[in-house]
Amino acid sequence: MTGAHRLAAGCAAALAFATTVAACSDISAPLRNEVYEWRLFVPAASGDGADTLSFHWDRSFLPVRVWVENTAGLPGHMDRAITTWESVYLYREFTAEIVSDSSDADVIVRGTDAPAPQTSRTRLRSAMAPQCRGATDLDVTPDNRDLLLPIRVFVAPSAVPGTPGLEDCLALTSIHELGHALGIFQHSPNPTDIMFADPSVLLPSPLDRGTAEVLYHVAPTLEAVRR
Ligand SMILES: [Zn+2]
């Protein structure tokens, strides 16, 4: 992303979500179409209306510690997903590393289906391709203030090893689910984005990248809490 695009993307967030737009007054191009809605809308803690949840990793958590179950080639796919998302950021706003101890991890990736009954309050289901499927569980406290760690990611093969399309499915689903774990809590409405609910593109689009970039420059409503 060029400097001009980065500035435009940052201003898009400011225009959409802040009351002051003075800092963006020198940008004349239309800006809002450079991001999609990434925030999650949930029933309000007060019981009336909805709360808007926005999250990104604070610098103090970086690099985010990711533990990956050693099955179906997931460690390799997730390592590439980390590199892919890190490349979005010019100032290393998001970084992650794979760790060997799951008890020490802030994101846990398993090669199985998300468990039922659901134990977390919010489950983002995605990737309903024939070859594999994914989900990300976010455990948000009832007051909608804290995101209890770890974030739990599930990337499960639906086909036997060697099935055409399986590796691509696992690769793009790993990127998609890590996109949720870094703070994109909504699905894109566009099939050309990797954060579309049923993604088919192999890499983040310019819109995915712009959204991921902007959300690290908007104050989060959720605070990550280790337990
Ligand atoms: Zn998803």
Task: Kindly give the distance from the C-alpha atom of residue 29 to the centroid of ligand 1, in angstroms, as a whole number.
Answer: 30
Task: Kindly give the distance from the C-alpha atom of residue 195 to the centroid of ligand 1, in angstroms, as a whole number.
Answer: 6
Task: Kindly give the distance from the C-alpha atom of residue 14 to the centroid of ligand 1, in angstroms, as a whole number.
Answer: 25
Question: How far apart are the C-alpha atoms of 158 and 130, rounded to whole Å?
Answer: 7
Question: How far apart are the C-alpha atoms of 163 and 165, rounded to whole Å?
Answer: 6
Q: Report the pLDDT value the prediction gives residue 32, as an integer from 0 to 100.
A: 52
List 225's β-bridge partners, or say none. Answer: 148
Strands (E), the chain: 40-43, 50-53, 64-68, 96-98, 107-110, 122-126, 132-140, 146-157, 223-225
Question: How far apart are the C-alpha atoms of 207 and 90, rounded to whole Å?
Answer: 16
170-208 pLDDT, tens digit per residue, is 999 999 999 999 999 999 999 999 999 999 999 999 999
Of 126 and 215, which is predicted with more confidence? 215
Domain with CATH 3.40.390.10 in the chain: 40-225
Judge whether residue 12 has pLDDT over 50.
no
Question: How far apart are the C-alpha atoms of 206 and 18, rounded to whole Å?
Answer: 23
Q: Which residues, chain by chain, have CB under 5 Å from ion ligand 1?
A: 124, 126
140-180 pLDDT, tens digit per residue, is 999 999 999 999 999 999 999 999 999 999 999 999 999 99
Task: Kindly give the distance from the C-alpha atom of residue 44 to the centroid of ligand 1, in angstroms, as a whole number.
Answer: 22
Q: Which CATH superfamily is domain 40-225 in?
A: Collagenase (Catalytic Domain) (3.40.390.10)
Asked if residue 195 lies in contact with residue 188, where contact means CB atoms within 8 angstroms, the answer is yes
Confidence band, pLDDT 50/70/90 cuts, at residue 28: very low
